[in-house]
């Protein structure tokens, strides 16, 4: 039985005599729209300015052409590739009563020639063929992305900004430490609140002061670091206040449930919930595939080998889960998942541990997915003490 959230193929019957099909090849300067109009032999191709109203007018004109040819349009299906423009156009089309789909770019099969021709016209034709196959119900022509609401997209912004700011903070600290190490100074801690006050008193191994231009650069970096730290604190405070104000609203219960487990902080719970666990998945394999934690086998004849992770899913989720897996080993020493990992890495080899930590991350993600869906706690997991 087909699953309702299976986006590999369309579950609605496709009638080519009353369905207007259009694909949009989007770029920053222009849109190239290709269509399949019932009753019209030619397949029109029109270049537009990036304007949703111009697209709507074009679709209306094509519907009128189909009506003149004796075909009454009862369904209009529009698709475009996921990319820089995100999902705003799909939401706008849906609000205008037009069926809209967003195609995963990596799911469209392309020529494997080394120097294949690539133009907007050719890409539009390729998208059109893939979309028509998907509409006919043929599996694996392409895969559609689930279109989030504006609120669902907005919920992800705080955690993603937090991750970006933490990365900028780390880069700044490392750069300042590197600048001091080049001068032979190893006792400078840029993370201290009054670190700028220590700069004039620092000395190199030759008992020389820090050069003035280097001092000026470090002062600017310290000011930037202070700003970044204040922004990180602002995001964390806003999130905590929002959860305290409405603990049972939206995804807050799911986040609080995950944060009860030792080793999972509220920031990690926020990432897991808004990036993966709040979505609807067919089964556990789909969960692992979405995170890019499935393998890519290479089998031909007698040859059997594994090429490593497919990495077809979200790199953000994959990185976060592998970090979480290492923390899980530290905070959940007696859990079933940790014992499973220890039993398979008794040889102590580094390569074995690197491979198995990815497998542990996959099992951990599936276990947490079951927890938020069914309430089944990971076996022998330790919870935080209730205050």
Out of 115, 130, 147, a domain closes at: 147
Extended beta strands in 37-98, E state: 45-48, 75-81
pLDDT score for 307: 74
Percent of the chain clearing pLDDT 90 (strictly above): 72
The H-or-E segment that residue 31 falls in is strand 31-36
The answer to whether residue 358 sits within a structural domain is: yes
The answer to whether residue 266 sits within a structural domain is: yes
pLDDT in tens, 144-184: 998 999 999 999 999 999 999 999 999 999 999 999 999 99
- Asked whether residue 273 falls in the same domain as residue 164, the answer is no
The answer to whether residue 11 sits within a structural domain is: no
- Contact by Cβ (8 Å): 313, 358: no
Alpha carbons within 13 A on the beta-carbon side of 337: 27
**Model confidence at 1: pLDDT above 70:** no
Range of the domain at 37: 19-147
Instruction: Give pairs for 117-121: CB < 8 Å, separation 24+.
Output: 120/25, 120/27, 120/32, 121/32, 121/45
- Asked whether residue 157 falls in the same domain as residue 134, the answer is no
- Asked whether residue 23 falls in the same domain as residue 100, the answer is yes
pLDDT score for 2: 39
The answer to whether residue 110 sits within a structural domain is: yes
**Model confidence at 93: pLDDT above 90:** yes
pLDDT score for 113: 78
- Asked whether residue 286 falls in the same domain as residue 182, the answer is no
**Mean pLDDT, residues 84-103:** 94
- Asked whether residue 214 falls in the same domain as residue 272, the answer is no
**Model confidence at 21: pLDDT above 80:** yes
DSSP-derived secondary structure for 151-190: HHHHHHHHHHHHHHHHHHHHHHHHHHHHHHHHTT-----T
Any residues with CB less than 8 A from the CB of 139 and at least 6 apart, and which?
8, 9
- Rounded to whole angstroms, how far apart are CA atoms 79 and 58? 15
Longest dimension (CA), the chain: 92
pLDDT band at 385 (very low <50, low <70, confident <90, very high): confident
pTM score, whole prediction: 0.85
pLDDT score for 9: 79
pLDDT band at 327 (very low <50, low <70, confident <90, very high): very high
The answer to whether residue 73 sits within a structural domain is: yes
- Asked whether residue 85 falls in the same domain as residue 184, the answer is no
């Amino acid at each position: 039985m087909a699953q309702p959230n299976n986006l590999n193929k369309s579950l609605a019957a496709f009638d080519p005599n009353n369905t207007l099909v259009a694909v949009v090849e989007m770029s920053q300067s222009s849109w190239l729209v290709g269509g399949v109009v019932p009753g019209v032999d030619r397949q029109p191709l029109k270049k537009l300015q990036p304007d949703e109203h111009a697209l709507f007018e074009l679709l209306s004109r094509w519907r009128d052409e189909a009506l003149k040819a004796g075909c009454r349009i009862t369904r209009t299906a529009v698709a475009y590739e996921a990319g820089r423009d995100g999902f705003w156009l799909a939401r706008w089309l849906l609000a205008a009563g037009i069926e809209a789909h967003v195609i995963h770019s990596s799911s469209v099969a392309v020529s494997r020639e080394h120097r294949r021709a690539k133009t907007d016209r050719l890409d539009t034709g390729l998208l059109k063929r893939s979309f028509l196959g998907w509409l006919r119900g043929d599996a694996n022509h392409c895969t559609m992305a689930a279109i989030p609401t504006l609120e669902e997209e907005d919920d992800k912004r705080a955690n993603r900004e937090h991750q970006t700011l933490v990365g900028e903070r780390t880069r700044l600290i490392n750069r300042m430490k590197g600048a001091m190490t080049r001068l032979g100074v190893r006792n400078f801690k840029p993370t201290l609140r009054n670190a700028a006050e220590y700069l004039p008193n620092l000395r190199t191994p030759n008992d020389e002061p820090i050069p003035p231009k280097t001092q000026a650069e470090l002062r600017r970096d310290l000011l930037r670091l202070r700003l970044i730290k204040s922004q990180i604190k602002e995001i964390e405070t806003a999130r905590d206040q929002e959860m305290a104000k409405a603990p049972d609203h939206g995804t807050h219960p799911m986040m609080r449930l995950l944060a009860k487990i030792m080793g999972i902080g509220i920031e990690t719970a926020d990432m897991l919930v808004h990036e993966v666990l709040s979505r609807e998945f067919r089964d556990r394999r789909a969960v692992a595939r979405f995170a890019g934690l499935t393998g890519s086998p290479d089998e031909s004849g007698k040859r059997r080998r594994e090429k490593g992770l497919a990495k077809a899913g979200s790199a953000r989720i994959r990185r976060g889960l592998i970090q979480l897996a290492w923390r899980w080993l530290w905070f959940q020493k007696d859990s079933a998942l940790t014992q499973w990992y220890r039993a398979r890495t008794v040889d102590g080899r580094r390569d074995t541990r690197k491979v198995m930590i990815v497998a542990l991350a996959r099992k951990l993600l599936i276990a947490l997915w079951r927890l938020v869906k069914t309430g089944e706690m990971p076996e022998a997991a330790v919870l935080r003490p209730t205050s």
